[in-house]
Amino acid sequence: MPAVPSYPLLLEIRMLRRLALATLATAAAGTAGFGSLPPLPLLSPPDALTVTISESGYRTADGTFELTCDGQAGGTHPAAEDACRRLEQLAAEGANPFKAVPRDAFCTQVYGGAAVAEVAGTWQGRKIDARFSRVNGCEIDRWNNLQPVLPILGR
């Protein structure tokens, strides 16, 4: 049976992982839409988001959910592990899934429903306060990109 690493070793591994992610994200920031944001702090607070879903048409999807991603997924989010995994993937890619659709973007006029999501908290050391909807193709793509942090709708 393999040995289980000690708690201090797990903390050190976590800090090294965060440092590596912070370095990658900072290096990619200029080309990934983070150019105007300050560099990531080396010891950023844990990722902690409040996700509020309304008007989805699904009782199980609507509500307010807490999501923490600090080495281990936690909170009341129904898909916490998958959501944290997706956020880690987006961070490694240097992507900013909370960035609003530019006002001058050309978007298909496809209506995906009345669902609205509000996401607030801290992610990658940055304050997050983002609103999501499904009112056109760009907003639907933005919503889908953040699944399963946001619920999968329409299935």
d(CA 53, CA 86): 18
Number of CB atoms found within 10 A of residue 120's CB: 15
Give the SS3 label for residue 148.
coil
Mean pLDDT by 10 residues, the chain (155 residues): 46 52 50 48 75 91 94 93 95 94 95 96 95 96 96 78
DSSP state of 147: T
Instruction: Please give the pLDDT value at position 71.
Output: 82
pTM over 0.85: no
CA separation (Å) from 21 to 24, 29, 48, 66, 117?
Answer: 5, 12, 17, 23, 27
Q: Among 48, 46, 121, which Cα is nearest to 80's?
A: 48
